[in-house]
Amino acid sequence: MREWDPAIAGEVAIWAVPCGVVGARLYHVVTDWSAFSGHLGDIPLIQQGGLGIYGAILGGALGAVVGARRAGIPLLVILDCTAPGTALAQAIGRFGNYANQELFGGPTNLPWGLEIDPANRPAKYLDDATFHPTFLYESIWNLIVMAILLRVARRWRRLRPGYVLALYPRPLLAGALLRRGPARRPGPRDRAAAAHQVVAAVVFACSLAVLLQMRRRRGRCQASA
């Protein structure tokens, strides 16, 4: 991946970033439709919050298709290059949950416990003041994944295009599980979290199948050589 001109990243980002934002918003609207069914005018108001990582990845990938074709770069090479940066973006984005006090875990007395205002606590946890900062756990996990992806890309430079991308979905499933903590308030957002888990599990299974297939092909090529 190092033989390509870094300036190509900007050419691809022109298409991938806007498509990723649109995809992220549409995914959030679909999975939390009850909040928008009677307020369609709120759909474009992304400044109020509400973006889904799965929609961002799909939308960004569609934009990358256009950018890759215009730049004359294989799509899988582009997606391999963006995987570590996407993990970093997730790590940064999780701190939005700190600002709006949502997606926290169960009660805890640990020193790094997150203080949650009474108005944002589930009814059964009104007497508890501090909770597990699951946003922080997921952020740290995403940073670890980013480091692993960069290590893999730099150490094994002759990997087949798409290998780094296939490694990336692992944090999605872990993140979806973390977000469904016991202190979540029941309701539409809780059902949306269940949908996120299903999507993450499907993406994880698909990426695992791709990795296994790549390993089989690599084994056959080495055997024939």
pLDDT digit string (tens) for the chain, length 225 residues: 456 677 788 888 999 999 999 999 998 888 888 888 888 888 888 877 788 888 888 899 899 999 999 888 888 888 888 888 888 988 898 888 788 887 788 899 999 998 999 888 888 888 888 998 988 888 898 899 899 888 888 876 677 788 888 888 766 666 555 655 544 444 445 556 666 677 777 777 777 777 777 766 655 554 455
Residues 123 and 140: beta-carbon distance below 8 Å? no
- Using only C-alpha atoms, what is the Rg of the chain? 20
Residues 121 and 183: beta-carbon distance below 8 Å? yes
* Residue 66, token pair as written in the block: 């256009």
**Cα–Cα distance, 133 to 107 (Å, whole number):** 10
Domain spans of the chain, in order of start: 1-73
Q: Given the structure tokens 């790590």, which residue do they identify?
A: 91
Residues 196 and 176: beta-carbon distance below 8 Å? yes
Beta-bridge partners for 131: 107, 114
